Structure 1
Amino acid sequence: MENRNRSSPCSATPKLMQTIGFSLINDDLLQNILSRLPATSFASAASVSKAWNAACSRILSRPKLSSAISLNPLPLVALQEVFDKVMSEPIRPHFAIASVGPGFEFKDVLQFMVKKLGSTTPIILSSVKGILGRDAVTHEFGEVKWISDTAEEVPVNTGIVLTVGFLPGLKVDAIPLLRKRKVPQGSMMDKFVMDIKNYTSSVSGSTSPPAIIMIGDGSVDVKPILEKLDYAMSMETIIVGAERGQFVYRSSDASRNVSTNQKHSPVAVALVFARYGNIVHGIANIEFHFALSNGVSAIGPRLKAASVRMQDSLPVTWLTARREGQQEILDGQQMLEDIDDEMENNMDYVDLYIGVTRRRNCSVGSDKPRLTTTLALHGVEGGDSEYLYVDGVGIRTGDYFRFYHPDPKTALSSTKNVSSTLRNLKLEWDCLNKKEAFGGFIFACIGRGESFFGDPNVDSSPFLENLPGIPVAGIFCSGEIGRGCTSLTANGEEEQASARCHLHAYSTVYLVMSYAPSEH
C-alpha cells in the first residue's frame, strides 16, 4: 500500500483512479485536464487505461509543431529552457530539429536530445549563423545573428532554436548522404537520391515525398545534388534547407547512423516527410507550402562563357566571356569594370554573383538521361587581366550568365508579395473552413536581417503579420535551399521562367505547414 500511495496519478492503475474519484470525471473534463499536462506526463497518462488512452488520442488527433529559442549565455541552461518550453504541452515527437550557435557542444546536445526524446526519434542538429523564433522565457519574437547589426548594439554570442513536430499521417526520418573513399561523387549522389525514393516508396507507395528539409556541411557542391533531386522528384515535392552548416543527426533506422571515420562521413542529411499510402478517417491531411523572397537583382548584359578553367585543388572556376552577339573576349577586369560602371562605382561595397544558365542531361542510376535547365549562382571572387574568378564548379564553355547583386528593394518587395499571398491564402482557408496553418520554418541568408533592411523582423514578417499565433522556427545560414511549386509566391526573375534555381543567395525561404481533416 505504501508503494501505491507514493505513485503519481499518471502512473497509477485504473482501479486506484476509481478510489480517488476519477471515475466521476466525464470525458470532456478528463480531456481538458489531460490537455494541460506537459508532454512527459501526458505520455504516462496515455498508458493509465483505455479511456485515458482514447482521450489522449483525441487531444493529439491534429498535427502540432512546438518551437522555442533561448539566448541564455549558458548553453546547458539554454538547452533546458527550450526543451522545457517545447515539451510543456502534449506532443508525441515524430522528429526534432535543433540549430545552435558558438559555445554548444554537439555531443552534449545530441546526447541530451536522444535521452529525452528516445533513440528512435529522428534528430538533426546543426550549427548556424543566427536564429529566428519566439523566446522560451519572454515569449517575444526575435531575429538574432551572432554578430551585431549596428555598432551600438551588443553582439549576441550564442543561442539555440529547437523544434519538435507531431505529424499524424506522415512518417519522418533522417537519411544521410555519405562520402566514401574511392567512390565517385556521382555514385554517392545517386545512392542518396535512391535512398530517399526507396524510403518514401516503402511508406507511401510513391517515390516522391511531399517535403524534404536538407542540411549540407559545405564540403560538397550541393547544386548537382539538388539537380538530381529535382530530376527525380515530382513537382509537388518541396525541398528547403541550408547548404553549409556543420551537423550531426540520428535516424530512426540505426543502420543509417554512421559516424565520421576514415572510410566514410556524412556530408549532407535529409529529413524526409513521407505520407502514408492510405489516409483513414480522423487522421490529419498535412500539406506543405513553399515561398521565396528573392534578394538579388540582375545587372549588366547577358554574357556567354568563352573559356573555362577549373582548379583541381580548389572549388574555383576561371573564365572569360563574350557579350551576347559580340565576338570580343572579355577578361575578368573588363567584366568587373563594366559592372562597376552600371553600379555607379559602388561595386566594392556589395557581394557579386553570376547566375549561370545550365542546360544539362541529368539521370539517376540507370535512368534514361533527360535535359534539364537550371540557374546556378556562383559568388564572384575577383578578376584580373586574364580571368574572372568565381566559386564553385560545373560551368562550361558556352554557358550563358548574368551578374547579380544584393538588392534590399527587391528583397523587401518580394517579402511583401509573400506576405500578401499568404494573407489571401489564409482568407481562403478561413472562408472555406478547409485548412489551418499549424507551423512553419524560415531559412534566411546571413546577409539579410536588420542591417540589410534597416528594420527588424522583416524576414519573419509574412508569418508575424498573417499567422502570428503559430510556432515558427528559423535560421540565418549560408546558401538557402529552396525548391517548390505550390500555392505561395516564388521569385520572379526573368531567367527563372525557363531555368529553375534551387540554391539561392540573399534570399529567404519559407515553408508553411497546414492541416485539413481527412474527408474519408
Structure 2
Amino acid sequence: MENKKRSSPSPSTTNKKESKGFCLMNNDLLQNILSRLPATTFASAACVSKAWNATCNRVLSRPRLSSAMSLNPSPRVALQEVFDKVMSEPIRPHFAIASVGPGFNLKDVLQFMVEKLGSRTPIILSSVSGIIGRDALTHEFSEVKWTSGNADDEVSTNTGIVLNVGYVPGLKVEAIPLLQQKKTPQGSMIDKFVMDIKSYTSSMSGCTSPVAIIMIGDADVDQKPIIEKLDYAMSSETIIVGDERSQFVYRSGDVSRNVSSSLKCSPDAVALVFARDRDKAHGVEDIEFHFALSNGVSAIGPRLKAASVKVSNSESVTWLTAKREGQHEVLDGQRMLDDINYEMENHMECVDLYIGVTRLRNCSVGSDKPRLMASLALHGVVGGDEEYLYVDGVGIRTGDYFQFYHSDPKTALPSCRNVSSTFRNLKLEWDTKSSHSTSAGANATDKKETFGGFIFSCCGRGDPFFGHLNADRSPFLNVESSPFLENFPGVPLAGIFCGGEIGRGYVSLTAHGGQEEGSARCHLHVYSTVYLVMSYTPAAVH
C-alpha cells in the first residue's frame, strides 16, 4: 500500500484551535493566571480580546496602592528595584509619587518614570530628609533619615528612594503646578493656581472642591499665603497634606501644565489633585480619604500681643516686641526669652522654639468677595536681644496675638498613641456597620477596607526624638508608622520626613487637630506627623 504523506494544518486552522482552547478555559482559571502577571504583561493581556479585557477589569475591580523602598547605594539599582517591585503585580497607574535622597538626580529619575509609566501619568518626585516604607527585596519596614555623619541612630547613605503607584477607579488625578513668572505678582499666580484646581475638579466631578490634595512646596517659597488661599477656596471636606519645603520636579498628564524653557517660569508648588469622576462606571467603589495628626509641640508661657513689628524682607525675618495680655509694659526679645527659659526650668537649649501667631485676615481668590479667615501661623524663633525678638517668616502685624511653643516628645508620643487608638476605633466602626449590613441581608463584602496610606513626618522627629523617654534609653522603633502598622497590617504604607508638614483636615480622625487657638486652625505644622488613610467601600451587590 502506498504511504500517503500527512499534510500539515494551515496556520489559520492552528490559530482557530488555539483560540478555541483559550475560550474553553475556565474564567476563574484565566482570572487566576492574569492576576499573577506583572503590570506591563497584564496591560498587554488586556488587549488580547474583549473577554480577556473584561477578565482583567475584574482583576482590577478594587483600588490599589503599590509601594516599595530601596536603600541600595547605587541610585540606578535602587530605582530599578522599587520599580520592579511596584509593577510586579497588575496595576494601572493613575498617579505616581516618589521621594529620594540627595544622591539622586531628580531629572534623570523623572525621565525614567515617564518612560516606564507613560507621559499621561501624573508624577511628583521630590528630594526629602528621609523616607518611610517597606524594602523592595527584604520586605522589612523602616523609617530612615539622611545624615552625612556616622550617627548610630541614623543612616549615612543618601541614595534611598520610596516609590508609590496608585490605581484609584472612580477618581480623576492630575498634577497641577503653581508656576511663578518673574514679572507677575505672587498673589495673582496663587489665585490662578487655586482657580486651576477648582476648574479641573469642576470639569471632572461637577463641583469645585476635590476630595484630597497632596501638595509639595518649594523650599525657598513661603507656602503660608498659598495654603491660606486653598483653605479659603476649598470645601471643609477637602483634605490637604504634603511637604511644605522641598526640592521637586513633576509631570502632568496635561502637557500644557508642564514647565518648558519657553515658559520662563518655575514651579513654587505642585498639587496632586484627587477629584470625583462623575462618569465613573456602575459598580465602581467609593474611595474616601481620612486625615489624622500627631502633634509634637506644647504651648508655654502667657498669651502675648505684638506691640511693634519690623520686617526684613530680604532675609524673611520679622522683628517684634510684645505686651502681656491686659498689661502695658513692652517686652523686648531678651525679656521674652528669659521668661520662657524660666518656665522651662533652664532647659530651653534642648528644644526648638516657635511662636504661634493668631491671624485674622481678609482672604479672597480672584473677584470673590473677601472673607475674614482665622489661622494659627507658626514661626521659628531665631533669637532675641534687648530690642527685639527675631522670628522666621513674614506676615505678622502689630496687634496680632501669639504664644510660645516648644518641641516636646512628651506630647508627641501620647499623641501618636492617640492616633493609633483612633485608627482602632475607626476599624471597629467599619466592622460594626458591616455586621449590621450583613444581618440586614446585604452582601458580606460591603465592609469598608483600607488600601493604602501616606505619612508626612517632621524631620526633627523619628526614633531619636523619642529615645530618651525610655528609662534605659533604648530606641523606639518606627514610632511614626506604628499607628498605621498596628491597625492596618499588610496594607501598603509609605512616607517621608519633611521640612514642614502640610495638614489640613477639619474632620480629623484625632480629637485634637493640631496647634489650635480658639477658632484659629493650623495647616502648616512643626514637629508633627500627618497621616492620610485611603479606604473604599465595595459597591453593594443587589
Equivalent residue, structure 2, for 1:345: 346
The residue type paired with residue 94 of structure 1 is: H
Distance in 1 of aligned mates of 2:15 and 2:320 = 75
Secondary structure of residue in 1 paired with 2:232:
helix
Deviates more, 1:428-437 or 1:149-158: 149-158
The structure 2 residue matched to 1:491, chosen from 512, 515, 518, is: 512
CA contact (8 A) 2:303 2:401 kept: yes
Question: Are 1:500 and 2:518 matched, yes or no?
Answer: no
- Please list the CA deviations of residues 180-211 of structure 1 after superposition, one character each: whole Å capped at 9, or x if unmatched: 11211111110110000000000001000000
Equivalent residue, structure 1, for 2:254: 253
CA contact (8 A) 1:150 1:451 kept: no
Equivalent residue, structure 2, for 1:406: 407
Structure-1-length-normalised TM-score: 0.95
Equivalent residue, structure 1, for 2:362: 361
Alignment of 1:112-127 (within 5 A): 112-127=112-127
How has the CA–CA distance of structure 1 residues 350 and 234 changed in structure 2, closer, same or farther, with 3 Å as cutoff? same
Distance in 1 of aligned mates of 2:261 and 2:378 = 30
- Please list the CA deviations of residues 371-391 of structure 1 after superposition, one character each: whole Å capped at 9, or x if unmatched: 010000000011111111100
How has the CA–CA distance of structure 1 residues 494 and 472 changed in structure 2, closer, same or farther, with 3 Å as cutoff? closer
Secondary structure of residue in 2 paired with 1:178:
strand
Secondary structure of residue in 1 paired with 2:383:
strand
The residue type paired with residue 449 of structure 2 is: E
CA RMSD of aligned residues (A): 1.8
Query: Shift in Å at residue 155 of structure 1?
Result: 2.4
Distance in 2 of aligned mates of 1:82 and 1:117 = 13
Alignment of 1:95-134 (within 5 A): 95-134=95-134
Equivalent residue, structure 2, for 1:220: 221
- Please list the CA deviations of residues 241-297 of structure 1 after superposition, one character each: whole Å capped at 9, or x if unmatched: 001110000000000001467831111000000101255421121000000000000
Equivalent residue, structure 1, for 2:439: none
CA contact (8 A) 1:149 1:450 kept: no
The residue type paired with residue 46 of structure 1 is: A
Secondary structure of residue in 2 paired with 1:283:
coil
How has the CA–CA distance of structure 1 residues 493 and 97 changed in structure 2, closer, same or farther, with 3 Å as cutoff? closer
Distance in 1 of aligned mates of 2:116 and 2:514 = 45
How has the CA–CA distance of structure 1 residues 183 and 72 changed in structure 2, closer, same or farther, with 3 Å as cutoff? same
Structure-2-length-normalised TM-score: 0.91
CA contact (8 A) 1:307 1:321 kept: yes
Deviates more, 1:254-263 or 1:73-82: 254-263
CA contact (8 A) 2:114 2:121 kept: yes
How has the CA–CA distance of structure 1 residues 487 and 347 changed in structure 2, closer, same or farther, with 3 Å as cutoff? closer
Question: Are 1:24 and 2:37 matched, yes or no?
Answer: no
Distance in 1 of aligned mates of 2:165 and 2:18 = 31
Equivalent residue, structure 1, for 2:35: 35
Distance in 2 of aligned mates of 1:305 and 1:498 = 19
Alignment of 1:147-226 (within 5 A): 147=147, 150-151=151-152, 155-226=156-227
Count of aligned pairs between the two proteins: 509
Deviates more, 1:276-285 or 1:475-484: 276-285
Distance in 2 of aligned mates of 1:450 and 1:226 = 29
Question: Are 1:326 and 2:339 matched, yes or no?
Answer: no
Question: Are 1:449 and 2:470 matched, yes or no?
Answer: no
Distance in 2 of aligned mates of 1:243 and 1:15 = 59
Query: Shift in Å at residue 486 of structure 1?
Result: 2.9
- Please list the CA deviations of residues 353-385 of structure 1 after superposition, one character each: whole Å capped at 9, or x if unmatched: 000000000100000000010000000011111
How has the CA–CA distance of structure 1 residues 486 and 172 changed in structure 2, closer, same or farther, with 3 Å as cutoff? same
Distance in 1 of aligned mates of 2:288 and 2:15 = 38
Distance in 2 of aligned mates of 1:40 and 1:66 = 14
CA contact (8 A) 1:149 1:451 kept: no
Query: Shift in Å at residue 311 of structure 1?
Result: 0.8
Question: Are 1:301 and 2:314 matched, yes or no?
Answer: no
Query: Shift in Å at residue 450 of structure 1?
Result: 0.6
CA contact (8 A) 1:290 1:487 kept: yes
How has the CA–CA distance of structure 1 residues 154 and 121 changed in structure 2, closer, same or farther, with 3 Å as cutoff? closer
The residue type paired with residue 23 of structure 2 is: S
Equivalent residue, structure 2, for 1:8: none
The residue type paired with residue 59 of structure 2 is: I
CA contact (8 A) 1:179 1:265 kept: yes
Distance in 1 of aligned mates of 2:343 and 2:537 = 50
How has the CA–CA distance of structure 1 residues 154 and 229 changed in structure 2, closer, same or farther, with 3 Å as cutoff? closer
Identity of aligned residues (%): 75
- Please list the CA deviations of residues 122-171 of structure 1 after superposition, one character each: whole Å capped at 9, or x if unmatched: 00000000000100000010000012795476523320000000000001
CA contact (8 A) 2:506 2:513 kept: no
Unmatched 5+ residue regions in structure 2?
1-9, 435-446, 468-475
Alignment of 1:10-89 (within 5 A): 15=16, 17-18=18-19, 21-89=21-89
Mark the structure with the bigger radius of gyration: 2
Question: Are 1:315 and 2:316 matched, yes or no?
Answer: yes
Query: Shift in Å at residue 317 of structure 1?
Result: 0.5
The residue type paired with residue 495 of structure 1 is: E
Distance in 2 of aligned mates of 1:258 and 1:224 = 22
Unmatched 5+ residue regions in structure 1?
6-12
CA contact (8 A) 2:309 2:398 kept: yes
